[in-house]
Amino acid sequence: MLVTLKEILKIAEEKKIALGAFNTPSMPYARAIIAAAEALNQPVIIMHAQVHEEMGLCTMEEVAPMMLWYAEHAKVPVCVHLDHGTDLDYVKRGLELGFTGVMYDGSALSYEENAKNSAIAVEMARKTGASVEAEVGSMGSREGGVQEDESIYTDPDTAAKFVAETGIDALACAFGTVHGFYAKEPKLDFPRLSKIDSLVEVPLVMHGGSGVSHADYREVIARGVRKINYYTYMSRAGADALNGQTFKQFHDAYVAAEKAMQRDVEAAIRVFANLG
């Protein structure tokens, strides 16, 4: 069942859990994620990342119809979301294709430009009924697991101003996680997260979910995180399943990877949904 980001995060808020948000650069990813969510009967967010188009994995036009098909046919609520749309034209294309959630990422811009563009993204999304996530502060580089200095972490007062000025539906905040593999163990700024949560009404989003300990997942969920973006470890699970094996047919390799990714996603959803 296809739902918006706002609708799906409402379910997370009611249950005081976080939903997994997983990237789907090709069909085996989408199949693995939907199968995991259905096996656990949990809502899920599937995402196309603009960076995956830039890496040559898929264009948004190719992947969106496939994502929407899986969402519409799923037995659980599914949001089809654009991850890190860094320009407004890209976000507009996503909305036209039917994404029910979009992230406009202006975190590399000045506060004023980021707020102005995020408000434009909200205005565009309201026309299609989609919801908007945006980021203030910065996760730093999009890949590589390098922890940046705390000066780019989200400032709680700025976050409150940003949400009020833009009308966004969910806020991505920087408090110590990074994308990709961690170069060293992440050290999350929990008091900062709680302060943001106390000043901001909308659900909070944690990016860079791979490599965070179970204890830290529980802690950030208790402090208001309702969406956890997770890709690297799921994708690594797919690659690990192929290690040391030879395949005569490519479809056998991708089925093995898909099954391994499904197990990894199920394990992640179990923690995010507090299923024990």
d(CA 58, CA 60): 7
CA-to-CA distance for 110 and 91, rounded, in angstroms?
19
CB of 41 to ligand 13P, least distance (A): 23
Q: Is 210 left (phi over 0), alpha (psi -120 to 50) or beta?
A: beta
- Of the pair 180, 248, the CB lying nearest ligand 13P is at 180
CA dihedral sign, ordered 10, 14, 15, 17: positive
The distance of closest approach from Cβ of residue 246 to ligand 13P in the complex, given in angstroms and rounded to an integer, is 28
Chain position carrying tokens 């009924």 = 129
Considering beta carbons, is residue 200 or 212 the nearer one to ligand 13P? 212
CB closer to ligand 13P out of 56 and 244: 56
124 vs 268 by CB, closer to ligand 13P: 268
Residue 196 gets the label, from left (phi > 0), alpha (psi -120 to 50) or beta, of: alpha
Residues making contact with ligand 13P (CB under 6 A): 83-84, 179-180, 207-210, 229-232
> DSSP of 93-139, one letter per residue?
HHHHHT-SEEEE--TTS-HHHHHHHHHHHHHHHHHHT-EEEEEES--
Catalytic residue numbers read 83
Beta bridge partners of 79: 3, 45
Q: Shortest approach of ligand 13P to residue 22 CB, angstroms?
A: 8
Which lies closer to ligand 13P via its Cβ, residue 34 or residue 205?
A: 205
Token pair recorded at residue 152:
């780019």
How, if at all, do strands 225-230 and 78-85 pair? unpaired
Distance between terminal CA atoms of the chain? 25
Q: How far is the CB of 207 from ligand 13P (least distance, A)?
A: 3
